[in-house]
Amino acid sequence: MLILKIKNKKILISELCIFLCLGLFLFQLTTQTNKVFGQEETIKDAISDISVHITEAIKSYAMAIGEKYFEVEHDTLDVNTSAIAQATGTSEGKLIDAFSYSAAQNHLKTGELLFIDIIPMIKNSYPEDIIQIQSGLLMLKNLFNYKSSYNLVEDVGFGMVLSHLDNIYKQQ
pLDDT category at 17 given cuts 50, 70, 90 is low
pTM exceeds 0.85 for this model: no
Task: Write the DSSP symbol of residue 95.
Answer: P
Q: What average pLDDT does the chain have?
A: 78
Integer Cα distance of 112 and 71 in angstroms: 21
**Which residue would you say has higher pLDDT here, 167 or 18?**
167
Integer Cα distance of 162 and 168 in angstroms: 10
Within a 10 A sphere around the Cβ of 136, how many other Cβ atoms?
24
In the chain, the percentage of residues whose pLDDT exceeds 70 is: 62
Q: Among 165, 163, 156, which Cα is nearest to 61's?
A: 156
Structural domain spans, the chain: 38-171
Instruction: Tell me: pLDDT of 141 over 60.
Output: yes
In this predicted structure, what is the pLDDT of residue 1? 55
